[in-house]
Amino acid sequence: MPLPCQFGQGSIWKSPKMSSQYLSKVSHATSPIAIRRWGIIGNIMSDQEISNQLQEQWLEACLSVGIPAVTTDMAARVLAILYVYGGGNEGMVLCKKFTNEVQYIQKRFHIEGGEVPDMKLAGIMKGYIKELEDDYGNIPDWAVTLMRDRYGLKLNK
């Protein structure tokens, strides 16, 4: 029974044997973007998955080389928002971009296990936590803008 394989605009009918031959010829094109462009049937990653994977690899590379991918101020803001609003916002757990950055921040600023955290970050974060908790009913504009623009999340009051 022939299997449909889509390439570009039209649809071509190929037998399973011919499809496997074709796939072996294009095995050099292993990037997810190339696979999506050619429309090869198989394990196709969505644009969001590609973006998340790229971000994760970028953060790991920056961490291994010692280049700051997230500033100390941004890290303090993200952790303060997570501390104050994280318990009631399921989107923070489901947003891969947000969790990738939080994991990066944990590793970069030594907020894991029994390590001594970066004291500069802790001081800045305390200020942001105080600001968020003092005016809990009204979320500051910087927090709303940060979560909406950077992660696509809405903060709940």
Residue 26 has pLDDT above 70, yes or no: no
Where do the structural domains in the chain lie, given as residue ranges?
3-44, 49-151
pLDDT in tens, 108-143: 998 888 888 889 999 999 999 999 998 767 889 999
Choose between 72 and 87: higher pLDDT: 72
Residue 72's pLDDT band (cuts 50, 70, 90)? very high
**C-alpha to C-alpha distance for 15 and 123, rounded to whole angstroms:** 65
DSSP conformation letters of 96-144: HHHHHHHHHHHHHTT-STTPPPPHHHHHHHHHHHHHHHHTTTS--HHHH
Number of helical (H) and strand (E) elements in the chain, helices listed first: 8, 2
Q: Quick one: pLDDT at residue 31?
A: 52
Residue 86's pLDDT band (cuts 50, 70, 90)? confident
pTM for this entry = 0.67
Residue 145 has pLDDT above 90, yes or no: yes
